[in-house]
Amino acid sequence: MSSRQDRSEKFNWLLTVKTNIIMLKITGLWPQGKTYKADFYSLYAVISVSLFLLLDVLSGLINMMFLLTDLQALTATICTMATKIVAVFKVYYFIKNIGTLKKLMDILMSDMFQPKNARQRDLVQPSLDEWKMVFWMLYITSSGAVFFFSSYPLVDGFFKEYRLPFAAWYPYNTNRSPIYELTYLYQVISITYIAIVNVDIDTLIAALNTFVGTQFDLLCDNLKTLQEKETEILLVRDKLIRCVRHHKEILSFAEKSNNFFNLIIFFQFFVSAVVLGLNLFQLTVVEPFSSEFYSFLSYENGTLVEIFMFCWFANEVTLKSEGVAYAAFESEWVNFSPDVKKEIIFFVTRCQRPLKISAMNIFYLSLETFMKILRAAYSYFAFLHQVNNN
């Protein structure tokens, strides 16, 4: 492909999240336009969310009222119900702000955010590939959790007792055929739906942070190559001004992205710390190496990958934003005019403060935060283990 073709063909950032968009369309969470309209798809979305999410959560919450005196059964139910309740919040907030998200996608495809050549496309590809790897890792662990939770009553022989994958209350008797089989199928479809919603919304949020990080990669590269040829001396100031504008656009995009998902992240982190602790407790009380044991083990792994994903890509944003100031001085700045040198100093001074992704401005997403969540989860586990022993 020629360099002229490289310049004329836009780099499609949305291809990275193509799978997310397809799955969100299937679950009723990605309307054709900017927002939902009074059409068939909106009706489909209402039915899907109500039937496979809201009804499932409601039946689980009602059932919890009958488990208050059984610690093991209660913690097992809370483990899964916590994730389902967060899914309700995610779906509500996602639908409410779908217009904002689609505007962010439009900004991402603007000329300012485009790689200038094939070399810059190759520069951002490793970060996008890294995100894809984590995406499939989370999908695999989540699929494992869905499979084990859906199949353990069959594998362990509990189907003879008409035991369902998830404890829930229904206004009818599930201990007879074919009501039991139909309810079983409904729960499998519901947990699959909830898992898809959780994974695709979470990874889409991580993708937004990945896109911010790749923009810093492009900005740093543009700063390093401010003057590549002697004939470009007069163009240095124009290039620098474009870099400053690019930096402002990146910060604006990051702020809008953060505003879109910070409430989701806040509740997800709080719930995940509890779920990790409850899962550890369940692993100590269920029969070792049974299908139920592997259900909670895969659920634990999926939750760990989910939280690590948020923290890792947000941490990458911070590290890459710190590199902007250094990139400016990797250019041939010694050959620039005094005015341009002053402008570079002003720009570098502004870049001294790194960009940090937060959750409701209460805490920042970083690897340090990930370790704090693990410590909190272990504290919950230790408390439950002690209560159970007593």
What does the pLDDT read at residue 304? 93
What does the pLDDT read at residue 330? 82
What does the pLDDT read at residue 229? 54
pLDDT along the chain (390 residues), means of 10: 54 94 96 90 96 95 84 81 93 94 94 92 95 95 92 74 86 90 95 96 96 95 74 71 93 94 91 90 84 87 94 95 87 75 84 89 92 92 82
Residue among 112, 87, 94, 268 nearest 194 (CA): 87
What does the pLDDT read at residue 98? 94
Beta-bridge partner residues of 334: none
What does the pLDDT read at residue 326? 87
Query: Count of CB atoms within 10 A of residue 317's CB?
Result: 28
State whether the Cα torsion 301-307-311-314 is positive or negative.
positive
What does the pLDDT read at residue 232? 57
Q: What does each C-alpha distance from 368 to 108, 203, 365, 372 come to in angstroms? A: 29, 20, 8, 6
3-state secondary structure of 143: helix
